[in-house]
Chain A
Amino acid sequence: MNGINGVTQLAFSDVWRVMAPEILLVLGGFLILVLDLFMNKESSRRLSPQLGILFLIAAFVMTIRNFGLVSDQTAGGTGELLNLSNMLYVLDDFGNVFKLLFTAGTALVLLMSIDFFKQNPEVKVAEYTYLMLFATTGAMVMASSLDLITLFVGLELLSISSYVLVAMRRNHAKSAEGGMKYLVIGSIASAMALYGMSFLYGVTGQTNLAYGAQTVIQMWLQFKPLLTLAFLLMLIGFGVKVSLVPFHQWSPDTYEGAPNPVTAFLAVVSKAAGFALILRTFLWGFSGVFGDVYIYLVILAALTMVVGNVAALSQKNIKRLLAYSSVAQAGYLLLPLAVLGKGKSIDNIWLALGQTSFYLVAYLFMTMGAFAVLTVVTRQAGNETLEAFRGLWKRAPFLAVSMAVFVLSMAGMPLTAGFIGKFYIFLGTINTEMYWLGGLLFATSAIAFYYYFGVLKAMFLKDSAVQSHDKIQVPVSLTVTIAIGLIGTLALGIFPDLLMKFLNGLHWFGQ
């Protein structure tokens, strides 16, 4: 694979080995794009999402294959990652776990979207579908690249596709407003991250994180302020993407304005991609000096947990409530990385990655499920306030019970995935003796109980605002989404070892 003058010659088979899921998604995207030109409108509308899901499943399967490749490579014992172009792009289980999350998440989003397309004939289905696939490809690049330039390209591919997706309902004022806001704030974030990356490049002379990390350690004493500035600018840029406080303000408006499936995409896939980026960049690039910079992560995590949960208290609109709740979840998700500042042993790093991944999987199930329920309920009620959920128990027991499981899981009730996820993160704070952060996690979760309680109360303890003979029709695609969310949330809550064993046995960074 060694080329001439440092330029690597790549054979397609090498690329396929490392990037198979990405290639599949890009192919799928283009296929849908081209087919849309040749097919009549009706069949394109019908076929596009199905094709999209098919390619996502294929990518999912290829990712599962990748676990085997990584394991073979590790067993080979050269100690080197499978990579392209001199560590520009790598194949390791860290990337694989996130790719599973992205493909599964987007597939569920597309499943939910089928109903959304029926309700909104003005939406261009093919465009929507291939944008989803491209966005997912961007997310995958963010999880697998070790080079600042490709990382940034991945970030932009995801972001720009997302801006368009939010504004997909063109004649819908709120949708356009949300898209506009996301675009403006997102661009500021990208600019900041890029600015930070340029400082890092300036100091190290490297765009590659694997090699740059050594230089960062050497240069740390000399260029401490500059490198800290680089770290912070990147953190702020990424922080906007995963909505850390105080960079979260776009999210309630955007969540509210975006179509439900797109909101779910932002909440799950886009957020997970942001965390992949954060973990990749900071664990590789700043691993040597992490003890000096972790404190900023701690501050942001603490702020995010507190503000996210407190702000959610006064929300009446269910989508805004979930938006603030998802802000708060970002705080929980940042904790495992933040507490590594104390006690950054190899074991602790694997534990932190396990905690983040477990919580993200739990979060995927409960959020997808909640948004699917929300879609049905708010449409029938004609509004998005908590009032829409009044007496849901009477009108649609399945929806009410499912929603109860999802919000209880978000609140951290035992026997749900959310509890195990939070508890796992909590143990991490105890493990590294950052008790106060654990305490804060616990205290803010207690606050969270209060607003989730509002949803429960509306569903079970109030009389229906709508006549009870108005049975709610749940489309099949949404029923499937809800059922998957429900099974996942409960299964991980009762048998968490199913996933934990898997995560514990991974070669995260190909070790």
Chain B
Amino acid sequence: MVQNAWLIPLFPLVAYLLLFVLGRRAQEGIVTAISVLAALAGFIVSLLILSDVHANGASAPYVFHWLTVGQNTLSMGFEVTPLNAMMLTVVTFISTLVLLFSKGYLHGDARYSVFYQYLNLFIFSMLGLVISPNLLQVYIFWELVGLCSFLLVGFWYFKPEAAAAAKKAFIVTRIGDVGLFIGIVLIYVATGTFEYSGVFEAFEAKKFAIDWITPDHFITLVAILMFIGAMGKSAQFPLHTWLPDAMEGPTPVSALIHAATMVAAGVYLVARAFPIFEASPDALTVIGIIGGITAIFAALIGLTQNDIKRVVAYSTVSQLGYMVMALGVSAYAASTFHLMTHAFFKALLFLAAGSVIHAIHHNQDIRFMGGLWKKLPLTGWTFLIGALALSGIPPFAGFWSKDEILLGALKSGNTTLFVLGLIAAFCTAFYIFRVFFMTFTGEFRGEKEVYEHAHESGSVMTIPLVLLSIMAIVAGLLNSPLTDHAFEHFIFGGGEEIGKVYDTEWWLAGLATVVALAGIGLSYLMYKSKSINPEALANGPLRPFYQLSLNKFYVDELYHVAIVKPVVWIGHILNFIDKWVVDGIVHLFGEGTYIGSLGLKYSQNGQVQTYGLVTLIGALLLIGAAMYAVGGVK
């Protein structure tokens, strides 16, 4: 079965081409049917491959010759490992549900078909990234998913915020891409290959074809450069700012791309190339710290946000921080496990949020929601399940995976990271239940009429919610003591352990649960029973902290002052120099030439003399410098 893995990305590509040929006026039903069937076919093949890998373990990559560069040949192809078999299944599963959900969510949109085209293109690119057997191919698809993300975030381009967010997402993630690209090229220079297997061998032997840096420093340098790429895609501090803004895209996009799949690509890359990172303890330390900071930082911002999607977005940033932190403390299995469970419950939370937004006419501000449980019981239940899973309440999915990350942090001796993780877990439980209570309980605070008309959407939107809820409940059991950590055995492919694995500490699981319950409890007191007045807190002694969190620690403003403004100013200054100083000097000469050559007057304006003069000055400078250099001028 494994040799057929190339089919999986092919399905959405074919769907994309079909939709493209059908054009923008294709009927909604046909468009959805083609897309969902393609994704479903991919899911079925993925499942077959998953069971094959489960039975037979990973196989060698399938590659074909792509091009010859000098003495080296580069290849393209695909590979199936336990890790990417899991990713393929998760991506195709969530894609199928999101494509289905979008039928309801985008019903009637003038560019319905275009939306599905972009989504299919994205799914193709994401699957291509996952099955790549070499770093060059990863980079190619890495850029493609970024491009699709740009198109989808800006899908509602008539909203200025959406266009701005699309641009921001594209440019901020490109900063990371630059790091990744340099890292990949350095690896190629040092090892002569892009293939994972060849690269890993070279890194294990520490034999590199470069002499300007010691092997150990080289490994750290490359690991950090690649991690910068992961930081951009996976929205790690300080490159996290694009992800919350990307919520301007339609909600199904947020669920698929900005929660479950593309943003996890950074984590996936670090996990896939883990031998590179494992070879550098320094790089791992950096990764752990960045992950820890991101986890707590985003959780603190999430406490005070009022836009339902933004809260969930900050929680995504925070959970990605957990995964990165887990990799930093070598808890490989815990990180990949959390990647999987998070994909389920975060997609669920986004789709449930989408269902709410859809029901009350695209309002996203939780201050104008409330009491929706009665109107949207199914959405309420599923959101509650997602919230419990995110908070880490047993037996929901997030409990098992988050617990393992905290365990890994503690056992590796990084007590600070462990404490940060625990505080972030408290904040997480608090803010997600703040959203839950403000949305579903109490009185509706928006327009009465909207509330009257709010109703549960059709089955295309509720079926995905239910299926994802089931996964959010049971997926965690896969790596629990109850199933003898089946996931771990699977992800190691029956071979050696990657990273470190620890036995479950029940006291820790208990502590994490208590912390999460405390967060939920506080949230209950503030937003349900109203025994604590949140307004009084916000305007009282905690005001500075409240403002800091509400304004997202002023990171965007900081970037504006520290980077954007200086660059603009440098631009102004260069412009000024160009306009007044260079032009002025040239003009001075130019006038002279002009007077001296009245015969050329009819050439419309003086510029052509200027051009000639600049050419001559350039020539004289070059020749002068050269003559000086070769000693022709004494």
Interface residues of A (CB under 8 A from B): 173, 176-177, 180-181, 184-185, 188-189, 192, 224-226, 228-229, 232-233, 236, 240, 245-247, 249-250, 253, 292, 296, 299-300, 314, 347, 351, 397, 408, 413-415, 419-420, 424, 426-427, 430-431, 438-439, 442, 446, 449-450, 453, 457, 460-463, 496-497, 500-501, 504
Contacts and interface: CB of A to CB of B under 8 A. Distances in A.
Contacts of B607: 181, 253
Greatest chain B CB density within 10 A among A236, A397, A426, A439 is at: A236
B170 A453 contact: yes
B178 interface: yes
A424 B66 CA distance: 13
Nearest to B69: A427
Interface in B124-158: 139-141, 143-144, 147, 151, 154, 157-158
B630 A461 contact: no
A254 B158 CA distance: 36
Contacts of B185: 426, 430, 438
A296 B157 contact: no
B70 interface: yes
B174 interface: yes
23 contacts: A181-B607, A181-B611, A189-B615, A225-B630, A228-B630, A229-B626, A233-B623, A245-B618, A247-B615, A247-B619, A300-B622, A314-B575, A347-B70, A408-B147, A414-B143, A419-B140, A427-B70, A457-B163, A460-B154, A460-B157, A461-B163, A462-B157, A500-B67
B68 A504 contact: yes
B608 A185 contact: yes
Nearest to B66: A497
A414 B140 contact: yes
A462 B627 CA distance: 53
Contact of A414 (B139, B174, B632): B139
Interface in B596-624: 600, 603-604, 607-608, 610-612, 614-619, 622-623
A247 B618 contact: yes
Contacts, number: 133
Given A184-B603, A462-B163, A424 B69 contact: yes
A446 B157 CA distance: 24
Nearest to B600: A184
B528 interface: no
A419 B151 CA distance: 20
Given A247-B615, A413-B143, A415-B140, A461 B166 contact: yes
A188 B618 CA distance: 13
Contacts of B54: none
Contacts of A225: 627, 630-633
Given A247-B615, A415-B140, A442-B181, A228 B70 contact: no
Given A446-B174, A453-B170, A414 B618 contact: no
A461 B154 contact: yes
Contacts of B616: 188
Given A188-B615, A249-B611, A497-B65, A181 B632 contact: no
Given A296-B626, A408-B147, 20 more contacts: A181-B603, A184-B600, A185-B611, A188-B615, A225-B632, A228-B626, A228-B630, A236-B615, A236-B622, A240-B615, A246-B615, A246-B618, A247-B615, A247-B619, A292-B630, A442-B178, A442-B181, A461-B157, A497-B66, A500-B69
A496 B67 CA distance: 6
B189 interface: yes
Contacts of A462: 157, 163
B143 A229 contact: no
B631 A351 contact: no
A420 B185 CA distance: 14
B69 A229 contact: no
A185 B600 CA distance: 13
A79 B185 CA distance: 39
Contacts of B614: 246, 249
Contact of B622 (A253, A296, A439): A296
By CB atoms of chain B within 10 A, which of A247, A292, A351, A504 has the most?
A247
Contacts of A224: 630-632
Given A224-B631, A463-B157, A185 B615 contact: yes
B167 interface: yes
B384 to A, nearest CB: 37
Given A424-B69, A461-B154, A501-B68, A180 B603 contact: yes
A224 B628 CA distance: 12
A141 B131 CA distance: 50
A431 B632 contact: no
A100 B69 CA distance: 22
B24 interface: yes
A381 B615 CA distance: 35
Interface in B56-79: 65-70
Contact of A397 (B24, B615, B630): B24
B174 A415 contact: no
Nearest to B65: A497
